[in-house]
Structure formats: C-alpha cells, structure tokens
Amino acid sequence: MSTSIDSTLSETRSFPVPADFARQANLDAEMFARLNQQAAEDPDRFWGDLARRHLEWAVPFQLVLEADQAPFYRWFADGQLNVAHNCVDRHLRGASRHKAALIWEGEDGAVRTLTYAQLHREMQLFANALKHQGVRKGDRVAIYMPMVPEAVIAMLACARIGAIHTVVFGGFSAEALKDRLEDTQARVLITADGAWRAGKVVPLKRHADQALLREHGHAVQRVIVLRRTGTEIDMQDGRDIWWGDATAAMSADCPALPMQAEDPLFILYTSGSTGKPKGVFHSSAGYLLWSMLTTRWVFDVKPEDVYWCTADVGWITGHSYVVYGPLANGATVFLYEGAPMYPQPDRFWAMIARHGISILYTAPTAIRAFMKMGDEWPRRHDLSSLRLLGSVGEPMNPEAWMWYHQTIGGGRCPVADTWWQTETGGHMIAPLPGVTANKPGSCALPLPGISARIVDDQGNFVRAPDVGGYLVIDRPWPGMLRGIWGDPARYLENYWARFDHRYYVAGDSARRDADDYFWMMGRIDDVLNVSGHRLGTAEVESALVAHPAVAEAAVVGVPHDIKGEALCAFVVLKHRHQGDDRDELGAALRAQVTELIGAIARPDDIRFTDTLPKTRSGKIMRRLLRSIARGETIVQDTSTLEDEGILQQLGTAKKS
Ligand code: WTA
C-alpha cells in the first residue's frame, strides 16, 4: 500500500497582493513575520500577549496553557471573562455605541438595523427573560430559529448568563432537532412560528412540537416562540410562551456574568462519516480569542466595513464569523434571512449594491451555483463596494476561484480561501490579504500560531513538495474544540488515536507546494485508488470544472478488476450548455482530464445530472454517490441530505 497521496493537478496562476490593500491592512508582512517568530520561540508568551491585548478580562489569567491532561488542553484557565461583554458592552464606549452592529434584510425586503446600544438592550432583556424562565449557568439552551436578529440576540443572551447554547440549523427536521435536544438535555428551546424560505414558510414550531413529544428523552420545560411568519401554531399551556410576553416585564439591565475561561460557550453538532452527529463543544475565552483574531487578520475588518458572511448561524461559520468574531471586533454585520436565489438569481448582488457590502464570505457551493446561472446576473449590479472576498466549506476549484475573483471581485479583491472545521473554532490555513499572494485553489499558509503538517500513513512528516498525505495539527491552539459532549472517548478516538495522540487529525488530505502553500485534496475517506495511485477527489473535480461547460463535478471510485478502482464522474452543466451534445461533451471532458492530469485520472464513466446530492451546509455527499455509481442500494443516513428528490434522479441518471 502506498503511503502518500499522488498530486496531479498543477495550478500555476498567482495573484500578488494589491499594493493599496497591503498599505492599509490590519496585518502586514512585517507583523506576520514577527508573529510567526514569536509563536515559534515562545508559544505561551505569544498566546498570552494576544489574549491580554485583544480581550477584556474580569479576572486576568496567570496560566496560558495547561497540557498535563493532553489532548484535553486548557487555556487561560484561571482567568475569567464574559463573551457577550466582549462582543457588545465594550463597544458602547465612544462613537461605536451608535454604529450599526446588525443590518438585517428579510426575504420580503424589509430592513432592520440594530446599533450596538440597541443590541445591548435587546440582549439584556432576553437574558433576563431566560433567567426568569429558570435558566442558570451551565444549563443548555437550544436555538432553532430563522436568520433573524433574534437568533443572534438569543446566542448572546445565553453567553451573558453562562448558559450553553446549541443552535440547530432551521433547515433541519424534527428528527434532527429531537436528537440534539436529547443529547444536550436542553431545558429551554427558543424557536419561531416559522421561517421564510423562497417565499414559503418552513414550519419551525410544528417541527419543534414533533421533536418535543413526551416519549422522547428530552428535558425541555419551556419553549420561547418568536412571531415571524404569522403562521397558525399550537401554543401548549404551561410550556410555550411568546418571545414578546417573555421579555415584556423584564428589566433591560442584566450584568454580564464573569465565566471561567474554560466554561463551555456552546455545543454544535457536526456529522461525521459514520455514526450519529458529534456534539463538538467550545470554550469561552480560547474560542473567542481565535474567532476574533482570525476575523481581524484574515478579513481585515475595519470600523467602516459592512461585512457579510452568508452562513446561517446554525453552522460553525455562522457562530465564528456572523456572531462572535465580527462582533468582538466591533464590526457592522449584515444578515440575510432567506434563500440565495430568491426571487431571482441576483439577490446576493442586489443586496451587496444596496447595503454597500465591502467584505463577502461564502461557500464554493454557492459560487458554483451562481457560476452555473451565468454572468448576466452579477453584471446588473454595482459591486464596487466589495474589497475582500472569502470562501469556506469545500475545496474551491481554480475555475470557480477565477470566476469569483473576476466576475464578483472585479479582479481587485484579494480572495481568502479559508480552511478550517467546526472543531478548529476558526480559520487555520488561509491567505492574509495584505501579505500572501493568492494562488487559485490553494488556501495558502497556516496562520500565526498554527502548526499544520502533512504526514504519511506512518505519521512521518512529508517534507517533499507536492506529495499528499494526512493533514494534521501538531500543537494545540486556543480555538480548538474541548471535546465531544458527553463522550470523551469519542474525542480521543476521532481526532487523536490515528497517530498515537501525537497530532490532531483533521480527516482531510492535503499537499504542500514548493512555496509551502497548502492545497486541500478532499476527505481522507474519499481518496481514490487507481492502479496503485492514490488520488484526492479535489484535483480531478477541478480538472472537470476547468471545462467551460461545467459548473460542478463530483468524482468517486468504483471497483475495477484491473485498476483497483475506476473513476465515475457526476457532472453538472452550466445553464447555457445544457443542450450540448452529451457524447461529445463526455469525450471532451475525458480529453481535458487526460491533458490536465494524465490518463490515470480519466473517468471511465461520466454521468450528467442537474444537481449533486449535498448536505444542508453545501458539501457534496460523495459516499452517497459512491453507492449510486456502484449500483448499490442506499444504506447511508440521508437525513442530512438537502434535497431527497435528487436520489431518484441520480438513480436513473443516464450513462454517457
Ligand atoms: C472542508 C466548515 C477545502 C474540509 C468551517 C473540512 C475545506 C470540512 C475548506 C469542515 C477549504 C472547509 N478548502 N476544504 N477552504 N474549508 N473544508 O466542520 O473537508 O462544516 O474538514 O466546517 O470542510 O467542515 P465544517
């Protein structure tokens, strides 16, 4: 068995840092070099200085890192602070008091703005309401809400009184909500009558009622319901209360409770490749420090920016880069409630023009979907307010990168392709916009303080350029997960056991090029093995997306007598090319892969489809495609699938 993963695609385009961007950046080349040096020489001092400088402490810490129970690390553990205080109260001094903290646009076009002072008031009212409903420090509170300011208010209110929130994405089913309520034993559930999505109502409260059936093993005593859609719902006597009634008699003064640095801030479920979702939990101080610093470094957030991260607060991206990171920096955060292409495919671009958005952070799945619709939609709008673009969630194919950079960013905006995970709390590998030249498809260099490595099957460092292997982190960092809720054994098993607890194992494969830039190659579980060559999915998919007719592609392996595995590619065409001759296209795509990578990666089977099966956070579900390509019956859990109808379509997808 080979010990490394072959790298095949060589992308040579490079875009230097624009000089005017570099001049004004929060982090310049000199500071970057200094930070890296400090982190290497004296990590305790490096992290301790940053934590003292960027956070406000109620009780200062003496200890930086405790590693005696490694890999259960503890950071700043004898210090105390409150996360909500750091995100809101400290911006009330001076001019930022009356600046917009949140600008929200509803799907129907309604706009609401909350200044920091208003957010402060709403957060305290709701924090008092939670206390009045019996919520105490350490209790779990579930939040199952639409993307409205109250979702952010609820999260901050929990943080203010030391309750541990668990946000459940509003697109999840009653079943998924039930599992999370059971696992966290949340006492209070905060929801809404419904959520707007593409002009229709998602009946959140009805889902909640199903999840709360008495026979389920939950601990919910109180349900707080926000009126959003006006949908008729059942309010259960003694259990359910309207948001407005819960806050009506409350005082708008609720002091922030100082928390131990290591007290959990939240639990967030992430699906693994096997088994039930894992409840990843994060700390208060370390998590806040890392989400704040990365927002400052990677997004270069400034007081005058209007910053938009398109993620829902139900994902880690929403936690770190809609709520905690930007608010800790005193930024103006834009929130959008509804579907991205509603009522038309130019909704994003219209909002960017309307609100003067300067920083946009979204996902490759969205970028590819917009690319598929054609350039005419963004062209209708003035996107000149944009100065920085970001991406997260999957490898960004170089052609999707080029489209984003040119068509959306007008060729002038640095692009931050950020690699990180629910578990890492914040960005780990990402370009710094004032420092690092961009290479399309690469997430560039580890951030200061982050020690990312590539290792082979045996755990030895791979030093040669362009040789793929396991991506691992070999030093702790403050934003790292503190465990799996209620299951310490699973934490060890999932992230540390593979190489004898020496490294945090991300589960991704990656390579580093001769400039030390990282290139993500896909999940380790999805690695393909053709004639003894181990190939990551990302490079083959990028070679397919490089064809002008292709919007999106997913590649999986099927058993093959001679080669071990043969490749099967699922391909989504751009709208303009949907009438093209499929046989000709199939031949052209095989030729393209052969030219860009080599005959080894030439797909035996190419299947055209309208969409790919994805998780609700937009990740392609390759395991499912693997079963389909192999003609197996689907045994995987499809409850996280975005659109179940897709299975039927793919089952009968035509072979080329
Ligand atoms: C993938 C999202 C390539 C990767 C913050 C990782 C990426 C998983 C990138 C985590 C990127 C995320 N390039 N792959 N820039 N960003 N991934 O927990 O496989 O939803 O392990 O966190 O997404 O997904 P999660």
Q: Is pLDDT of 654 > 50?
A: no
Name residues whose C-beta falls within 8 Å of residue 332's C-beta, 6 or more positions apart in sequence: 99, 100, 101, 102, 103, 305, 306, 307
Band the pLDDT of 652: cuts 50, 70, 90: very low
Q: Is pLDDT of 354 > 90?
A: yes
Asked whether residue 362 is domain-assigned, the answer is: no
Q: Is 283 helix (H, G, I), strand (E, B) or coil?
A: strand
CA separation, residue 498 to residues 206, 273, 468 (Å): 42, 15, 17
**Ligand 1 pocket mutation, candidates 11, 324, 419, 428, criterion most atoms within 8 A of CB:** 419
Secondary structure (DSSP) of 604-620: SEEEE-S---BBTTS-B
Name residues whose C-beta falls within 8 Å of residue 363's C-beta, 6 or more positions apart in sequence: 310, 311, 317, 391, 392, 393, 394, 617, 618
Q: Is pLDDT of 655 > 60?
A: no
What is the per-residue pLDDT for 598?
A: 84
What's the chain's Rg over C-alpha atoms? Answer: 24
Burial of 284 (0-12, 13-18, 19+ CB in 10 A): buried
Asked whether residue 81 is domain-assigned, the answer is: no
Q: Is 444 helix (H, G, I), strand (E, B) or coil?
A: strand
pLDDT digits (tens, 9 = 90+) for 545-587: 999 999 999 999 999 988 889 999 999 999 999 999 999 999 9
Residue 640 Cβ contacting ligand 1 at under 6 Å: no
| Structure token pair of residue 524 | 């380790």
Q: CA 189, CA 224: separation in Å to the nearest integer?
A: 6
% of the chain exceeding 90 in pLDDT:
88
Asked whether residue 457 is domain-assigned, the answer is: no
Report CA(430)–ligand 1 centroid distance (Å): 12
Q: Is pLDDT of 644 > 90?
A: no
* Helix axis angle, 537-545 to 582-596, nearest 10°: 120
Q: Is pLDDT of 2 > 70?
A: no
Asked whether residue 194 is domain-assigned, the answer is: no
* ∠ CA 589-590-596, rounded to 5°: 85
Atom of ligand 1 nearest to the CA of 417: 15
CATH of the domain at 548: 3.30.300.30
Asked whether residue 617 is domain-assigned, the answer is: yes
What is the per-residue pLDDT for 575?
A: 93
Q: Among all chains, which residue has been given the structure tokens 């396991």?
A: 470
Residue 508 Cβ contacting ligand 1 at under 6 Å: yes
Strand pairing class (518-523; 74-75): unpaired
Burial of 655 (0-12, 13-18, 19+ CB in 10 A): exposed
Residue 518 Cβ contacting ligand 1 at under 6 Å: no
What is the per-residue pLDDT for 216?
A: 85
| Structure token pair of residue 542 | 């990028």
Q: Is pLDDT of 315 > 50?
A: yes
Q: Is pLDDT of 303 > 50?
A: yes
Sort residue 589 into left (φ over 0), alpha (ψ -120 to 50) or beta. Answer: alpha
% of the chain exceeding 70 in pLDDT:
98
Of 89, 170, 84, the C-alpha closest to 616 is 170
pLDDT digits (tens, 9 = 90+) for 186-239: 999 999 999 999 999 999 999 999 999 988 899 999 999 999 999 999 999 999
Of 194, 227, 190, the C-alpha closest to 212 is 190
What is the per-residue pLDDT for 84?
A: 98
pLDDT digits (tens, 9 = 90+) for 82-107: 999 999 999 999 999 999 999 999 99
Q: Is pLDDT of 372 > 50?
A: yes
Atom of ligand 1 nearest to the CA of 520: 3
Of 540, 166, 120, the C-alpha closest to 319 is 166
Asked whether residue 580 is domain-assigned, the answer is: yes
Atom of ligand 1 nearest to the CA of 523: 19
Q: CA 19, CA 6: separation in Å to the nearest integer?
A: 36
Q: CA 429, CA 33: separation in Å to the nearest integer?
A: 16
Of 429, 630, 625, the C-alpha closest to 541 is 625
Band the pLDDT of 656: cuts 50, 70, 90: very low
Residue 394 Cβ contacting ligand 1 at under 6 Å: yes
Mean pLDDT value of segment 65-70: 98
What is the per-residue pLDDT for 275?
A: 64
Asked whether residue 591 is domain-assigned, the answer is: yes
Q: Is pLDDT of 653 > 50?
A: no
pLDDT digits (tens, 9 = 90+) for 515-530: 999 999 999 999 998 8
Q: CA 60, CA 57: separation in Å to the nearest integer?
A: 6
Q: CA 143, CA 545: separation in Å to the nearest integer?
A: 38
State the total domains in the chain: 1
Amino acid of residue 484: I
Q: CA 521, CA 532: separation in Å to the nearest integer?
A: 17
- The more confident residue out of 62 and 623 is 62
How many Cβ atoms from other residues are within 10 Å of residue 138's Cβ?
Answer: 11
What is the per-residue pLDDT for 272?
A: 63
Report CA(235)–ligand 1 centroid distance (Å): 39
Report CA(111)–ligand 1 centroid distance (Å): 31
E strands, 15-126, where?
A: 65-66, 74-75, 80-81, 100-105, 111-115
What is the per-residue pLDDT for 273?
A: 55
Asked whether residue 645 is domain-assigned, the answer is: yes
Name residues whose C-beta falls within 8 Å of residue 581's C-beta, 6 or more positions apart in sequence: none
Of 623, 587, 621, 592, the C-alpha closest to 606 is 587
* ∠ CA 543-544-547, rounded to 5°: 100
Q: CA 203, CA 214: separation in Å to the nearest integer?
A: 20
Report CA(99)–ligand 1 centroid distance (Å): 33
pLDDT digits (tens, 9 = 90+) for 177-191: 999 999 999 999 999
Secondary structure (DSSP) of 49-101: HHHHHHS--SB--S--EE-TTTTS-EESTT-EE-HHHHHTGGGSSGGGGGSEE
Q: Is 277 helix (H, G, I), strand (E, B) or coil?
A: coil
- Give how far the C-alpha of residue 372 lies from the chain's centroid of Cα atoms, to the nearest Å: 22
| Structure token pair of residue 91 | 């911006």
Q: CA 360, CA 619: separation in Å to the nearest integer?
A: 19
Residue 345 Cβ contacting ligand 1 at under 6 Å: no
Tell me which residue range forms the domain holding 555.
Answer: 530-655
Name residues whose C-beta falls within 8 Å of residue 16's C-beta, 6 or more positions apart in sequence: 437
Residue 149 Cβ contacting ligand 1 at under 6 Å: no
Q: CA 299, CA 324: separation in Å to the nearest integer?
A: 14
Q: Among all chains, which residue has been given the structure tokens 């709390």?
A: 425
* ∠ CA 220-283-143, rounded to 5°: 30
Full-model pTM: 0.94
Work out the end-to-end distance of the chain between its first and last CA atoms, rounded to an integer number of angstroms. 32
**Ligand 1 pocket mutation, candidates 421, 439, 473, 518, criterion most atoms within 8 A of CB:** 421
